Amino acid sequence: MATDKYIAALEISSSKVIGAVGAVGKSGQLEILAIEQEKGADSVRYGQIQNIGDTYNKIDYVLERLRRRPNIAPKEIIGVYVGISGRSLRNIRKDVTLALPDDTDITDDIIERLKRSAMEADLDSSLEIVDAIPRYFTVGKTETQRPKGMMSNNISAVYDLIVARPIIQSNIKRVVKDRLDLDIRGIVITPLATGEIALNEHEKKLGCMLVDMGAETTTVTIYSRGNLVYFATLPFGGRNITLDLMELNELEDKAEELKINSGNAMSTSVLSQLKVGNHKQSEINNYVVARSEEIVANIVEQIKYAGLTEKDIPEGIVLCGGGARLNGMMELIGKFTGLKVRMANLPHYIRMTDINGQSMESLQIAAIIYAASKTAEDDCLQIPAPPEPEEEPEEKIEKIEETRDKKTKPKKPGIFGGIVKKMGEWFTPIGEDDDGDELT
């Protein structure tokens, strides 16, 4: 594939750090060349970096492994796109209007002015606007998705302001820009980027819901008429089930293993007598089912919070994220809602050539790279310049030559050196002749 540009991306989540490099071909085809990840909890909580040093170490380790990949080396990663998500991330509706002279052509500049007006909205100081996503525009009295080229004396729009706590972006910059000395080429809202590749246009137009179940947060986005209409992040995920299983007197790693290998979100009327290690299968499932049902009940409740019903999302629910892969989770959501449920997959226009990406949850990092590919102008990788040969300064060369001359030329004794020598000749020790032989 003839490569147009390379894009590097980072996904920093509560359970792991993932880094990836993608190549955009001349035809626009995206190929994910390399993916690396470093697992670990507690450095990031609910999508927010808590431990700067530990997160730095994880990212640095991931980037170093990427640099060593044969299809990346000897190129260096000089810039990255970073995905953000987290508990405080949500949407706020904002209506804006712009008055124009009569019969004004709607241009990109006017649409950009409208967006800037939305971005300048007054918010609580605990939040900052990350982006403004338009639902639809109204030019004159005509509602449209594509206002450019139309004519009117006014234009209005409904925007979804995506907001989050300022510390989320601040801590990302402290780690990536200040400590790793990497250029942050852009911030990508991971749940929205995931929706772009996980959902097709048919689903978004008729109405659907995307549920991204992470370790500590679950993000719900609802689409209708082709646009985002609801966005919320819930403060729980797959790790809550793992923590419940620790009540069986197991460490977190072992509890996670029990959840993945033996847990099932669907309850059963038949009590299993099987044992998994020191625990009954039924005992494990009691914990898994109870927490899974609580999580799903909260997910389904978001439909009501959005002012919608199940009839407004006839295309059902699309699942992604590690928590969604729990045995029985897809069936449990279908049971609660009566809607069709499917797992998200990479679309055909994104090629995953790295075998690592086929064995891990890579949809989100691929979504970040794909979103970046639409706006990226500069390459994130570059071949380092060869080191210039070190030239010795003229003064240094002169000193070396002078030192060599001093070593080769015999030293002339000074006046005091001559006197000392002669005195030594006058006072030869008794008992020794000039040849050093002893007198008899």
Spell out the per-residue pLDDT of the chain, length 440, in tens: 667 899 999 999 888 999 999 999 887 789 999 999 998 777 888 888 999 999 999 999 999 999 999 999 999 999 999 999 988 899 999 999 999 999 999 999 999 999 999 999 998 889 999 999 999 999 999 999 999 999 999 999 999 999 999 999 999 999 999 999 999 999 999 999 999 999 999 999 999 999 999 999 999 999 999 999 999 999 999 999 999 999 999 999 999 999 999 999 998 876 667 888 889 998 999 999 999 999 999 999 999 999 999 999 999 999 999 999 999 999 999 999 999 999 999 999 999 999 888 766 899 999 999 999 998 888 999 988 777 776 655 555 555 556 555 555 555 554 444 434 444 443 344 344 444 443 33
Q: What's the pLDDT at 359?
A: 67
- Structural contact between residues 197 and 305, judged by C-beta atoms closer than 8 angstroms: no
Domain at 1-88+166-199+345-429, CATH from 3.10.180.10, 3.40.50.280, 3.30.420.40, 3.50.50.60: 3.30.420.40
CATH class of 200-343: alpha beta
Q: What's the pLDDT at 427?
A: 37
440: which 2 tokens?
Answer: 């008899």
CA distance 352 to 346: 8
Q: What's the pLDDT at 405?
A: 56
Q: What's the pLDDT at 358?
A: 74
Query: What's the half-sphere exposure (Cβ side, CA atoms, 13 Å) at 361?
Result: 23
* E strand spans, 107-225: 128-139, 142-144, 151-164, 183-189, 208-213, 218-224
Q: What's the pLDDT at 118?
A: 96
Could you state, in order of their start, the residue ranges of all structural domains in the chain? 1-88+166-199+345-429, 90-164, 200-343
Question: What is the b/e burial string over 246-278, where b = at least 16 CB atoms within 10 angstroms of the residue's CB?
Answer: eebebeeeebbbbbeebbbbbeeeeeeeeeeee
Q: What's the pLDDT at 34?
A: 95
CA distance 7 to 48: 24
The total of other beta-carbon atoms located within 10 Å of residue 376's CB is: 20
The mean predicted confidence, pLDDT, of the chain is: 87
* Same-fold call for 1-88+166-199+345-429 versus 200-343: yes
Q: What's the pLDDT at 425?
A: 44
Q: Does domain 90-164 have CATH number 3.40.50.720?
A: no
337: which 2 tokens?
Answer: 């809602």
Bridge partners for 233 per DSSP: 219
Q: What's the pLDDT at 409?
A: 52
Sign of the dihedral through C-alpha 36, 62, 37, 249: positive
Q: What's the pLDDT at 398?
A: 59
Q: What's the pLDDT at 176?
A: 96
